[in-house]
Amino acid sequence: MDKLSAMRAFARVVEAGTFTKAADSLDVPKAQVTRLVQLLEADLKTLLLNRTTRRVSVTPDGAAYYERAVRVLEEIEELESSMSHAKLNPRGKLRVDAPSQIANLILIPALPDFCARYPDIQIDIGASDRPVDIIGENVDCVLRAGELADQSLVARRIGDMHTVACATPEYLKRFGVPQHPSDLEDGRHRVVTYFTLLPGRAATFLLQRGDERYEVNATSTVGVNDAGAMLAAGLAGLGITRIARFMAAPHLAAGSLQVVLPEWTTRVWPLYVVYPPNRHVSAKVRVFIEWAASLFDRVLKTPPGPREASGRRVAGSMP
């Protein structure tokens, strides 16, 4: 029996929760993972996993063995990654997941630079707004916007996503240009919201000007569950939307959108690179994190100035 392979197979079953997911993440047949775990249990003369038709759970002996096995595997990976060739020439498959608009508008267009720097890394980009099970789906790292709910994950903050309130010139011509947040509550205006508030119900969001804060209770007739859909709704003239600045910038420059209440700021979303705990950060993950941090530091700048906020063309269409 290859003890190291058996330890890796056992650890992946614990992390993934099933033999099938563990086999998929290791890119080996499920029968091979099952056989390795069985051989490991026979060698240790103890049951490591309780198996049922629906789930796998760790026995007390299995939990103790897992904690030590993970440390051993981390030390081996640390030893391999510390070699000078691995540092200078990181290689292997890298699985990254990101929100669709961040992936499509920022990450993927910049990838030629990353691929030129690290030609031996094969990178798979998952572009989706759905929550990702980092450990269960064997994802190396993910980009996430907003406050993190899972405090067990390791996160590095790499930028802030500023949002702007926008509407089409046609919408503003028809319903008027609001001069104060309270104007959004006068019954004329509509605010496009996310599914967290049902259509037809009050949509609450916060606007701030210096030390002055105003909580808007506006009427919503359209709700969406995706940042791209929010932009599309704004461009369709369905109401006032709150859009990430990097998404709105080309439309502001083209004049198809206009910033509403430019003196007031909307929410800022922190952007993180997140990766699993209790794992050594390999060279390929480390170089991607550093590259992504540099990329988003350039792209996610401070909020627009008065000229850009007014919808006039400024130098460059991206922030």
pLDDT tens digits along 183-224? 988 888 888 887 654 455 545 678 889 888 988 887 777 888
Same domain? 158 vs 264:
yes
Q: What is the pLDDT of residue 49?
A: 93
The model's pTM is 0.65
pLDDT exceeds cutoff 90 at 71: no
- 239 and 115 in a common domain: yes
- For 31-41, give one letter per residue: b (16+ CB within 10 A) or e: eebbebbebbb
> Do 116 and 218 have their domain in common?
yes
Q: Which domain holds residue 22?
A: 3-82
Which domain-ending residue is among 40, 64, 82?
A: 82
The tokens for 253 are 């420059």
Q: What is the mean pLDDT of residues 149-161?
A: 84
- If you average pLDDT over every residue of the chain, what do you get? 84
Domain count, the chain: 2
